[in-house]
Amino acid sequence: MWVFLDLPEEGFAQAVEYWRAVTRTTVSPWRGDRRQFATLLPADGDPWVKVQRVGGPGGIHVDLDVDVPLDEARDHASSVGAEVLAEVLDDDGLLEVVVCRSPGGFRFCLTDGSPSRGGQVRVGQPSLLDQVCLDVPHDRYADELRFWSALTGWEVQHVDSPEFERLQAQPGLPLRFLLQRLDEAAGAVRGHVDLACADRAAEVARHAVLGATQVGPGDGWVVLQDPGGRRYCCTERNPETGVVTG
C-alpha cells in the first residue's frame, strides 16, 4: 500500500518540504515526464508515502499493489463496484497501472506488487503517518464500507465511536484504513491522513513550528491544517502498534 499526497502546482515546493519535515524523511529523485512524482524516504526500512504534483485543489489517493495479474485485479474491482477510469501501459505495452474510483468517488490505483526491502520500521518512532481516513457522506457510508471490504478482502472492525469503522489491519502493511461517517447527507468521498503519535501534544507543537494551524480537538485526535490548507489529524495511537493509547 502507498498513500499519495496529491499537491497542487501553487505552493508545491513548500508543501513537499512541509510533509518531508512532518514525516522526518528525505525526498527521492523526481520521476515522471513532468518530474511530478517523488517518494518520501524514511531513514530505515521501506517507504510508503509519495508526493505528486497535480492540477486542481489536490487531496490524497492510495495505490494498492496486487499479487495477481493486473487485469484480474481490475476485473475483481469492477465486480465489487469500482469504476475503471484509465489504464496505463508500460513501454512494452503491458498493463502497469489501473486508475479506479470507488462508488462514492474516491480515486485509487491498482499496481503491480513491488519487492520489499525490509518492511516498515515502526519501533522507536515518535510519530508515524500510518492511516488513511476516508471521509464519507452519510448516504454513501454503508455502500462505501462494503466496497472497501470486498475489494481488499479485509474484515470490518467496529470501534467505540459510532461514526467510525476500520478495516482489520493487515500484518506487514504500512497503512491502515479508517472510514468516518460524516454528518453531511451527500457528496463525494474524500480522504485525509492520520499520524500515530507517542506524545500527541508534543507532536502538535512540532507541527505548529513547521507551519501548521490547529483547527480543533476531537475525541483522541487533533485536527491540523498544513500551510496549504490540507487537513489531517494527529491521533493518540502508539506508533509501534497503531493501537489507540488514550
| Domain CATH for 56 | 3.10.180.10
- How high is the pLDDT of residue 115? 63
pTM of the full structure:
0.95
Domain limit, last residue, from 88, 112, 136: 112
**Is residue 156, in this structure, part of any structural domain at all?**
yes
Give the separation between CA 151 and CA 78, rounded to whole angstroms. 9
**Confidence bin at 169 (pLDDT 50/70/90):** confident
Contacts of 68 (CB under 8 A, 6+ apart): none
67 is written with which cell numbers?
Answer: 499479487
Answer whether 14's CB lies under 8 Å from 226's CB.
no
Would you call 143 exposed, middle or buried from its count of C-beta atoms within 10 A (0-12, 13-18, 19+)? middle
Stretch 139-148: mean pLDDT = 97
Same domain, 144 and 183: yes
Same domain, 85 and 139: no
Same domain, 161 and 226: yes
Average pLDDT, the chain: 95
* The total number of structural domains that make up the chain: 2
Domain limit, last residue, from 81, 112, 143: 112
Same domain, 135 and 83: no
Same domain, 13 and 66: yes
46 is written with which cell numbers?
Answer: 521501506
Stretch 101-107: mean pLDDT = 97
> In which domain, by residue range, is 96 found?
2-112
193 is written with which cell numbers?
Answer: 491522513
Per-residue pLDDT of 172-193, as tens digits, reads 899 999 999 999 999 999 999 9
Q: Which helix (H) or strand (E) holds 192?
A: strand 190-197
**Is residue 120, in this structure, part of any structural domain at all?**
no
Same domain, 108 and 131: no
User: Looking at the DSSP assignment, which residues form a beta bridge with residue 233?
Assistant: 194, 223
Answer whether 108's CB lies under 8 Å from 102's CB.
yes
